[in-house]
Amino acid sequence: MLCYKNSSLTLSLLGIKSTTEELIMANITQSEHKTEQKSEFKIGQRIVYPAHGVGEITNIEYHTIADTEIKVYVISFSQDKMTLKVPVNRAAVVGLRAVASRKDLDVIYSTLQGKPKQGNRMWSRRAQEYEGKINSGNIVAIAEVLRDLHKNVDNDRSYSERTLYESALNRLAGELAILENIDPTEAINKLVEVLREKLVA
């Protein structure tokens, strides 16, 4: 994965700190150079990168690495003020996907209105599972986290619960805003309302 860092951003993903713009190359082998995947995404298309949520393909570039030309997607994440460069032939490996379609909405809402699964396991293990679901990029798995962690009173959540809840909420709202053509804040309010209606029912 290629990562481009602005001076205002700490590239925590790779553990790199700098005050200058950087271009970093990682996880590309010679064998991967030789098999280039046909581009699935176009400039201007919204996509989902599992670890960061909704982004936009702002450009498609070519870089020469070890005498081999590599085609990369340039992905901008406006909320995080970050840009990633992902080799086209690594897109599937890192889980890059298109934004969910409208037909997925019924599944999302059905999941949110389902019965929460709390389980009897230690919180540390459940938290690890929730974080894995959020970073999987699977929209239904993210909806499951939101459903399981939702409580009517914010004070009922621990700090770690609230952090995971808000992360799942923001990820899901990012895609919902695009699907419903609404503001992200409105999307958040809509999701919370669905969850509250479930508690009242």
Reported as a pLDDT band with limits 50, 70 and 90, residue 40 is confident
CATH number of 102-200: 1.20.58.1290
* pLDDT surpasses 60 at 82: yes
Angle at 112 between CA 140 and CA 201, to 5 degrees: 165
* CA dist list (Å): 30 to 4, 34, 130, 194: 22, 7, 35, 49
* Helix 159-180, helix 123-136: angle, nearest 10: 20
Per-residue pLDDT at 34 = 40
Residue type, 25: M
Per-residue pLDDT at 35 = 40
Residue ranges per structural domain of the chain? 2-98, 102-200
What is the pTM (predicted TM-score) of this model?
0.76
Q: Flag the least confident range among 65-69, 149-153, 195-199.
A: 149-153
pLDDT digits (tens, 9 = 90+) for 103-119: 899 999 999 999 988 77
* pLDDT surpasses 50 at 79: yes
Residue type, 85: K
DSSP 8-state class, residue 38: P
User: Token pair of 51, please?
Assistant: 């670890």
Per-residue pLDDT at 30 = 35
Secondary structure (3-state) at 40: coil
Kindly tell me the number of DSSP H helices and DSSP E strands found in the chain: 7, 7
The CATH number of domain 2-98 is 2.40.10.170 = yes
DSSP 8-state class, residue 52: T
Residue at token pair 């690594």? 90
Rounded CA separation 21/23 (Å) = 7
Closest to 141 measured CA to CA, from 157, 164, 119: 164
Reported as a pLDDT band with limits 50, 70 and 90, residue 102 is confident
